[in-house]
Amino acid sequence: MTDNPKLKLVYFKMRALAEAPQILMNAAGIDYKYLMAWEYFGKPWNEAKNSVIFKQLPILVINETDTIAHSGSILRYLANLAGMTPKDMVSIHKADAILEAAQEMFAPLNPTMNFAVGKDYEVKSIEMLPSLASKVDDFERLLALEPDAPFFMGNEPCHCDFSVYHHISMAQLMHSSILDNAPHIKQLLGAVEGLPGVKAYLEQRPELIDVGKEPKLVFGGRSVATGVMRTD
């Protein structure tokens, strides 16, 4: 791995698009600082938004001088930094296709898990089950092409594995039986969790609780509502 630049990952109080980059960085031993939007910008998000590239987060700030937006681009940058990019051009683009497919799961899955409550959550979770099951089928068939390799591109992880891990984990939280017929995806999840640094990260990251009722994240034993606003 090349010398590690000074990295800041800026996002919100939710388990969503900043999650896969954090898992990758912990797997690779890349130092970074995670900042809420109001911490980094020094003001509420609604006041900072118009000054941010594409007016959205997450962003990855590099050495205080450069900024990368969009979680997919952040994952590609981090994979290159960590030496997790496939070695040949065809494999690189196959991995990119898998990454894009995983990123398609973001909406409505992540917003529903982090914010929907009551009947709204129940309806949305039922409505999205067919599309989630279709993605599970797609990923399972791809992984089955090399059944003895735990990751999509073989024995070593790359950026797509971390996005799939995050989104499939969220889908499994929503529908606990969704992986009942997906042994290769289960193998992938276990392989990601077995990477150096990942187990410790997963054990200490804020827990997402009360999904579908009153979603919260638990920071150091204190639960706070998910969202884009500061909670003192």
Judge whether 97 lies within some domain: yes
Is residue 122's pLDDT more than 80?
Answer: yes
pLDDT in tens, 63-116: 999 999 999 999 999 999 999 999 999 999 999 999 999 999 999 999 999 999
Same-domain check for residues 100 and 188: yes
Q: Which residues pair with 173 in a beta bridge?
A: none
Q: What range does the domain containing 66 cover? A: 7-83+199-225
pLDDT in tens, 161-202: 999 999 999 999 999 999 999 999 999 999 999 999 999 999
Handedness of CA 69, 74, 77, 82 (dihedral sign): positive
Rounded Cα–Cα distance for residues 106 and 166 (Å): 10
At 4 the pLDDT is 85
At 124 the pLDDT is 98
Rounded Cα–Cα distance for residues 190 and 168 (Å): 12
At 156 the pLDDT is 96
Judge whether 230 lies within some domain: no
Token pair listed for 47: 């006041």
At 231 the pLDDT is 78
Is residue 2's pLDDT more than 90?
Answer: no
**DSSP code, position 143:** H
Domains in the chain: how many in total?
A: 2
Rounded Cα–Cα distance for residues 113 and 93 (Å): 30
CB atoms within 10 A of CB 161: 30
- Cα Rg, the chain, nearest whole Å: 17
Going by pLDDT thresholds of 50, 70 and 90, the confidence category of residue 146 is very high
Is residue 1's pLDDT more than 50?
Answer: no
Judge whether 232 lies within some domain: no
Judge whether 60 lies within some domain: yes
Residue 36 phi, psi (nearest 5): -70, 155
Same-domain check for residues 102 and 34: no
Same-domain check for residues 28 and 54: yes
User: CATH number for the domain including 111?
Assistant: 1.20.1050.10
